A and B are shown apart, each in its own frame.
Chain A
Amino acid sequence: MDPVLEVRDLSVEFRTARGRIKALRNVSFSVQPGRIVGIVGESGSGKSTVLWSILDLLAGNAIVTGGQIRFEDRDMLTRSTQEMLALRGEDVSVVFQDPMTSQIPVLTYARQMRDILYRRRGLGKARKREMSVEMLDKVGIPDPDMRVDQYPHNFSGGMRQRAGIAMAMLTGPRLLLADEPTTALDVTMEAQIIHLLREMQRETEATVVVVSHNLGLIAELCDEVVVMYAGEVVEAGDVRDIFHHAQHPYTRALLECDPARIEEKSHRLPVIPGDIPDLVQPPQGCIFAARCQRVMPRCLTEAPPLVEDGQGGYARCHLLAGPGHDVNWPPPPEVLTVARGAPATTGAKAVSSEPLLEIADLNVQFNTMGPVWAKVRGVKQPWVTAVVDASIKVHAGETVGLVGESGSGKTTLARAALNLVGSQGGSVRFEGQDIRGMAEAAFKPFRRDMVMMFQDPVGSLSPRKSVRALITEPMKIHGIRNVDPDHEAERLADMVRLPKALLSRYPHELSGGQARRVGAARALALNPKLVIADEPTAGLDVSVQGEILNLMAELQAEHGLGYLIITHNLPVVRHISDRLAIMYLGRIVEEGPADEVFAAPLHPYTETLVRGVPQPDPDRRRTHVVVKGEVPSLLNRPRGCDFVSRCPHARALCHQVVPPHVTAGHRRTHACHFPLGAASIPEKEGSSR
């Protein structure tokens, strides 16, 4: 069959002040009709550039220097603007990453979808509306007839992405492009969207190209995979071949770095050392040579051969053919080909009995209106409770993972612990001293001992300050004058392994991983005892995530730090946490030793999170979605158990009574009337540790 889309030797450059960035170099791949093809790569790999090239929507400073993009026998690159206009949205349409910014906030969905159908002059308004309603119904939006007249802000994040898919499918495109379609969504929503995309593809027989950095999504959704690195396709082939018999060292390394793949608990995660090469002057020879564990002299000088596997797949590597051919490559899947971080954590960690941080029954409320207005309107509770009766302990030398979806109140809990937001009840003790609601002046000394690493690596650094000024600032804040700031800056840079040349740089010049190191250096500048890390791996590539987590583990071993790690990404924390606390709608629903919680969840929500993560294994695709619906708004918290509206095991009691926190065994607590596998708990208890 003729391919629907064929990209041949596509090369794209970006003109910048520093010279031309050769963002794509001879990229080729083809997409057969009715297939779902995934383009996977880390940031800077050029995967999005490919997508925008297809649509001829590249930025103004981009130049296509060569190649062809054939869509149904015609080259997209030679089409006129008029032809492209007729094509976009009609034959080729896009599902965007962030439905928040890709939909028009001031128009209803009915209007936006009618506008998409503007070329169909024969259809009346009523018919167009009908089509929109049908499509919204297909993507699983309840009450589509009513919902179609609402605005994007009336929809929740997941619903908005569903509507985004509906808009993309409305014209019945033959080619659907999806740019990181689930990146902005939570784990449970991600599973639903993947499912929906598969279903829609099966129904319309459209051809789909998905761009993502998420290996789980690719494995779960795609039939074929194209792996890109630094603007080149390094490997392409059937999804099973890629995931089970990766040929290229980069593909192999990428798969091994994915935390969801790692089964055993480890404080040292695999990493790909180094950075993506500077694409103004791409290196000669193999593009991956500088970071490859199996690099040979010829890799640095000669372009690697293209080796086909005979089934349409291919890889470019010297190991596969020619003089560098190694019959033992690739090694069996159990063998790790990439390095693990330096072995810092040897032996058991010293966990003291006295908790460093002890939060008990903490409540945090946010006012929804002023007190006067509430009186006038007769509202009895002019607030929402973001954190309800949360209790958590962190010991020195211990890592506690606090896991929940967006809106679960995990970040609020951390901020309340640090006195950054007010709290309304309960206690927060640090080394036995109650610090809740302390005045800032009295609290200041505690800020040396308990610090927070914020979510956005670059955004949490003051943009007009040099790295040097940023990492020595804590000393200035706390009036420490008997140290040499330059010396301290270098010491801290060494500690977090930040190249000293970067000390004079500004935050926007740093990569995510580098900025994260600066954040860590700032946090550790005053030798704290407790570090609260909010999504320490957010915004980082898979290969860099490991480096940061390894660094954190090393620093913990060295300084006996207590960590409270806040994340939505269960696979990442599960490997580094000693204990896990699962949070849902402001309540901690389950807490206990990490491996036990992961292996035998007691709360159905925990089970959802454990099962909800897409596995980077195309043979373990889920056939059904574990949990439906979305996290309810704090404004209408369900009666009874918070999870009742989504729980697959909900019974009558759950609808009426809020489940209390129950201690199961002596180390696990949960808040569920009917915990899963309740009978097997004592055995688990005995076998642990």
Chain B
Amino acid sequence: MSVIPSEVIIVKAPDIRESAARERREKLSAFLRNWQGVVGLVLVVLFFVSAIFAPWIAPYEPNTMDIPARLSPPVWDHIAGTDQLGRDTFSRLLYGGRVALKIAVIGVSVSLAIGLLLGMIAGLGPRWLDNLLLLLFDAVRAFPTIILALATVALTGPSMEMVLAIVIITSIPQYARVTRTATMSLRNTEFIQAERSLGASTIRILWHHILPNVIGPLLILAAMDVPVVVSVEAGLSFLGLGVLPPTASWGTILNEGYLVIRDAPWMVVAAGIPLILTTLGFTFLGEALRDIFDPRMGRGR
């Protein structure tokens, strides 16, 4: 039970006119005080940097074989060991990060954009349209991702584009649903009524008044969705339905490591670590963003 009356926390207006800068400073300092957020941000930055600069960081070409050095344990030359073809696992992981990054960025942003649009339409539009869209979302969600992937891949053959398409299609409903619910609860609020009474158009209401109020939770959802997308890719690649060998991806490396888990257990471990760190990083970042994104939260705590 919240017992402090909100009016106790009266913020006296100081005589400064620059709000944007002040707001930004406040947000930043709030973020820096949140250790989880900082750790998350560091991990996420690490993920981006290592993936983007993989060709410069990687000590070896990802696909260069060195049969004599196959299944090497972690040593100074191969800090994450090598696989059964003698390829340097660390280099392959860095390159695998590029695949993960591509899938994550494209997959999440495209599905977020489409889901946001459909969700707002469903939430604000007429009842029949809402029902139709809901039916569509539920139909998509009814398919387990893997089964959908299996079926599609059986028709088209495995490829990175297929993985992306599957990721996007299966992620849209969750964004759309969250947006729809938020839009519906907003549409009868007094401030939306007030906007209408001033003559604001539906597009203006959607863009200026609904979007800023639903985007916060969605961005957090997106941040937390990145690890899901990355692991879907890894899972599909692990099953041989995603990225094709010899292209390095975390899933394929896991798959290869799985085959030699008794002889070289470090390979599976090495492929698991970036997955875990990425997941953790985005989740922490997402939660920290949630804490500071909503201006009504975090005050007086």
In the complex, are the beta carbons of B191 and A461 less than 8 A apart? yes
Classify the secondary structure of B's interface with A.
loop
For residue B25, which residues in chain A have a CB less than 8 angstroms away from its CB?
none
Q: Which of B8, B204, B301 contacts A477 (CB 8 A)?
A: B204
For residue A61, which residues in chain B have a CB less than 8 angstroms away from its CB?
4, 300-301
Is A462 on the interface with B (CB-CB < 8 A)? yes
**Stretch in B16-24, B138-146, B160-168, B270-278 with 4+ CB within 8 Å of A:** B16-24
Minimal beta-carbon separation of B204 from chain A (angstroms): 7
Cα A43 to Cα B204 with chains together (Å): 35
**Stretch in A51-59, A190-198, A634-642 with 4+ CB within 8 Å of B:** A51-59
In the complex, are the beta carbons of B17 and A501 less than 8 A apart? yes
Interface residue range, chain A: 35 or more
Q: Encode contact with A along B170-193: 1 for CB under 8 Å, 0 otherwise.
A: 000000000000000000011101
Write the chain B residue with the least CB distance to A523: B198
Is B209 on the interface with A (CB-CB < 8 A)? yes
Q: Which of B191, B193, B299 contacts A16 (CB 8 A)?
A: B299
Given the interface pairs A17-B299, A459-B191, A501-B13, the reply to whether A451 lies near B212 with Cβ below 8 Å is no
Is B154 on the interface with A (CB-CB < 8 A)? no
For residue A420, which residues in chain B have a CB less than 8 angstroms away from its CB?
193, 196-197
In the complex, are the beta carbons of B212 and A464 less than 8 A apart? yes
In the complex, are the beta carbons of B191 and A452 less than 8 A apart? no
**Stretch in A28-36, A238-246, A335-343, A503-511 with 4+ CB within 8 Å of B:** A503-511
Cα A465 to Cα B219 with chains together (Å): 19
Is A474 on the interface with B (CB-CB < 8 A)? yes
Cα A519 to Cα B11 with chains together (Å): 19
Q: Encode contact with B along A646-688: 1 for CB under 8 Å, 0 otherwise.
A: 0000000000000000000000000000000000000000000
Write the chain B residue with the least CB distance to A62: B4
Is B199 on the interface with A (CB-CB < 8 A)? yes
Query: Which residues of B264-301 have CB atoms within 8 Å of chain A's CB atoms?
Result: 295-296, 298-301
Is B3 on the interface with A (CB-CB < 8 A)? yes
Please name 15 further chain A to chain B contacts, defined as beta carbons within 8 Å, in addition to the given A21-B9, A451-B197, A501-B15, sorted by A numbering. A16-B9, A49-B3, A62-B3, A420-B196, A451-B198, A452-B197, A456-B190, A461-B194, A462-B213, A463-B191, A463-B213, A474-B198, A503-B17, A508-B295, A508-B296
Q: Encode contact with B along A468-502: 1 for CB under 8 Å, 0 otherwise.
A: 00000110011000000000000000000001111
Is B195 on the interface with A (CB-CB < 8 A)? yes
Minimal beta-carbon separation of A46 from chain B (angstroms): 7
In the complex, are the beta carbons of A57 and B1 less than 8 A apart? yes
In the complex, are the beta carbons of A14 and B197 less than 8 A apart? no
Cα A17 to Cα B9 with chains together (Å): 10
Is B12 on the interface with A (CB-CB < 8 A)? yes
**Closest 9 pairs (CB-CB, A-B):** A504-B19, A447-B199, A464-B212, A43-B7, A460-B190, A59-B3, A16-B300, A452-B197, A59-B4
Is B200 on the interface with A (CB-CB < 8 A)? yes
In the complex, are the beta carbons of A278 and B199 less than 8 A apart? no
Is B68 on the interface with A (CB-CB < 8 A)? no
Minimal beta-carbon separation of B275 from chain A (angstroms): 35
What are 30 A-B contacts defined by CB distance under 8 Å?
A: A14-B9, A14-B300, A16-B299, A17-B298, A17-B299, A18-B9, A44-B7, A48-B5, A49-B3, A57-B1, A58-B4, A62-B3, A62-B4, A276-B10, A278-B10, A420-B193, A447-B199, A454-B190, A460-B194, A462-B191, A463-B295, A466-B19, A474-B198, A501-B16, A501-B17, A503-B19, A504-B19, A505-B13, A508-B296, A522-B198
Is B2 on the interface with A (CB-CB < 8 A)? yes
Given the interface pairs A14-B8, A459-B190, A460-B190, the reply to whether A505 lies near B199 with Cβ below 8 Å is no
Query: Which residues of A434-467 have CB atoms within 8 Å of chain B's CB atoms?
Result: 443-444, 447-448, 451-452, 454-456, 459-466
In the complex, are the beta carbons of A444 and B14 less than 8 A apart? no
For residue B3, which residues in chain A have a CB less than 8 angstroms away from its CB?
48-49, 52, 57-59, 62
Write the chain A residue with the least CB distance to B127: A370
In the complex, are the beta carbons of A504 and B17 less than 8 A apart? yes
For residue A509, which residues in chain B have a CB less than 8 angstroms away from its CB?
11
For residue B193, which residues in chain A have a CB less than 8 angstroms away from its CB?
415, 420, 454, 460
Minimal beta-carbon separation of A428 from chain B (angstroms): 14
Write the chain B residue with the least CB distance to A504: B19
For residue A303, which residues in chain B have a CB less than 8 angstroms away from its CB?
none
Minimal beta-carbon separation of A101 from chain B (angstroms): 10
Cα A460 to Cα B84 with chains together (Å): 66
The winner among B16, B20, B301 for most chain A CB atoms within 10 A is: B301
Q: Which of A49, A415, A465 contacts B4 (CB 8 A)?
A: A49
Query: Which residues of B1-50 have CB atoms within 8 Å of chain A's CB atoms?
Result: 1-5, 7-20, 22
Q: Which of A17, A57, A454 contacts B194 (CB 8 A)?
A: A454
In the complex, are the beta carbons of B11 and A18 less than 8 A apart? yes
Is A289 on the interface with B (CB-CB < 8 A)? no
For residue B13, which residues in chain A have a CB less than 8 angstroms away from its CB?
499, 501-502, 505
The winner among B3, B18, B189, B300 for most chain A CB atoms within 10 A is: B3
Query: Which residues of A508-534 have CB atoms within 8 Å of chain B's CB atoms?
Result: 508-509, 511-512, 519, 522
Given the interface pairs A59-B2, A463-B213, A501-B14, the reply to whether A49 lies near B301 with Cβ below 8 Å is no
The winner among A58, A464, A511 for most chain B CB atoms within 10 A is: A464
Cα A511 to Cα B7 with chains together (Å): 8
Cα A61 to Cα B2 with chains together (Å): 10
Cα A19 to Cα B13 with chains together (Å): 15
In the complex, are the beta carbons of B14 and A17 less than 8 A apart? no
Cα A279 to Cα B4 with chains together (Å): 14
Q: Which of A16, A278, A451, A459 contacts B12 (CB 8 A)?
A: A278
For residue A219, which residues in chain B have a CB less than 8 angstroms away from its CB?
none
Cα A444 to Cα B213 with chains together (Å): 25
In the complex, are the beta carbons of A500 and B17 less than 8 A apart? yes
Q: Which of B7, B204, B295, B301 contacts A17 (CB 8 A)?
A: B301
Cα A17 to Cα B15 with chains together (Å): 19
Cα A459 to Cα B192 with chains together (Å): 10
Cα A506 to Cα B212 with chains together (Å): 13
For residue A455, which residues in chain B have a CB less than 8 angstroms away from its CB?
190
For residue B7, which residues in chain A have a CB less than 8 angstroms away from its CB?
43-44, 511-512
In the complex, are the beta carbons of A275 and B4 less than 8 A apart? no
Write the chain B residue with the least CB distance to A522: B198
For residue A464, which residues in chain B have a CB less than 8 angstroms away from its CB?
209, 212-213, 295
For residue A17, which residues in chain B have a CB less than 8 angstroms away from its CB?
298-301
Q: Which of B8, B19, B197, B209 contacts A279 (CB 8 A)?
A: B8
Cα A641 to Cα B204 with chains together (Å): 45
Minimal beta-carbon separation of A85 from chain B (angstroms): 15
In the complex, are the beta carbons of A459 and B189 less than 8 A apart? yes
Cα A675 to Cα B4 with chains together (Å): 49
For residue A443, which residues in chain B have a CB less than 8 angstroms away from its CB?
199
For residue B299, which residues in chain A have a CB less than 8 angstroms away from its CB?
16-17
Is A272 on the interface with B (CB-CB < 8 A)? no
Minimal beta-carbon separation of A228 from chain B (angstroms): 12
Is A253 on the interface with B (CB-CB < 8 A)? no
Cα A83 to Cα B182 with chains together (Å): 43
For residue B14, which residues in chain A have a CB less than 8 angstroms away from its CB?
501
Minimal beta-carbon separation of A16 from chain B (angstroms): 4
Cα A278 to Cα B195 with chains together (Å): 33
Cα A275 to Cα B7 with chains together (Å): 12
Is A5 on the interface with B (CB-CB < 8 A)? no
Minimal beta-carbon separation of A275 from chain B (angstroms): 7
Is A69 on the interface with B (CB-CB < 8 A)? no
Is A23 on the interface with B (CB-CB < 8 A)? yes
Q: Encode contact with B along A165-185: 1 for CB under 8 Å, 0 otherwise.
A: 000000000000000000000
Q: Which of A454, A463, A477 contacts B199 (CB 8 A)?
A: A477
For residue A392, which residues in chain B have a CB less than 8 angstroms away from its CB?
none
For residue B5, which residues in chain A have a CB less than 8 angstroms away from its CB?
43-44, 48-49
For residue B296, which residues in chain A have a CB less than 8 angstroms away from its CB?
463, 508
Cα A629 to Cα B298 with chains together (Å): 44
Q: Which of B2, B10, B17, B212 contacts A44 (CB 8 A)?
A: B10
For residue A286, which residues in chain B have a CB less than 8 angstroms away from its CB?
none
Minimal beta-carbon separation of A65 from chain B (angstroms): 15
For residue B20, which residues in chain A have a CB less than 8 angstroms away from its CB?
504
Write the chain A residue with the least CB distance to B205: A462
